[in-house]
Amino acid sequence: WLDRCRNGHVTGMDYSEVSVAESQKLNALAIKQGKCNVVQGDVSAIPFSDATFDYVSAFETVYFWPGLVKCFSEVNRVLKSEGIFLICNESDGTNAADEKWTKMINGMKIYTSKQLVAALKEAGFTEIKTYSNAKNHWISIVATK
């Protein structure tokens, strides 16, 4: 994202202290230049003020979020008016073969786009668009505050 956000600032957040440390190493120059920061945090209680971000993305992570509506409400809270939330998943909940991951990875839950959209609406998002790749069972959802 840093390449596409040359005049902006990127903030990364992860629940895992190990992942945060690795990301801080990988992005050390951008952090030093003040273009990036990486923090440890929990999506159910995002450690930022209301209306902080223009854009929030979640790649391959909502599978592990504890209570979608609560977490999506937190994302909504930290987004500015008309801010955008992008969700990208490599599993759309329609491929039975993907269920093997939920058995191997403790706490993982695969959601359908219908389930994600319902939770986004309940969390206060207004304009929601879904995109899918039926061949690969991938989904992307763009939700606007």
pLDDT number for residue 43:
97
Mean pLDDT of 90-113: 73
pLDDT number for residue 77:
99
CA distances from 143 to 25, 36, 96, 129 (A): 31, 24, 26, 6
Residues 6+ apart with CB under 8 A from 69: 119, 122, 123
pLDDT number for residue 40:
98
Sketch the domain layout of the chain as residue ranges. 1-41, 42-144
The model's confidence at residue 1, banded by pLDDT at 50, 70 and 90, is low
- 119 and 72 in contact (C-beta within 8 Å)? yes
Q: Over 90: is that where the pLDDT of 62 sits?
A: yes
Helix 113-122 vs helix 68-78: crossing angle, to nearest 10: 60
pLDDT number for residue 94:
65
Q: Which string of b and e fits 28-51 if b means at least 16 CB within 10 Å? A: eebbeeebbebeebebeebeeeee
Looking at CATH, the fold of the domain delimited by 42-144 is given as: Rossmann fold (3.40.50)
pTM of the model: 0.89
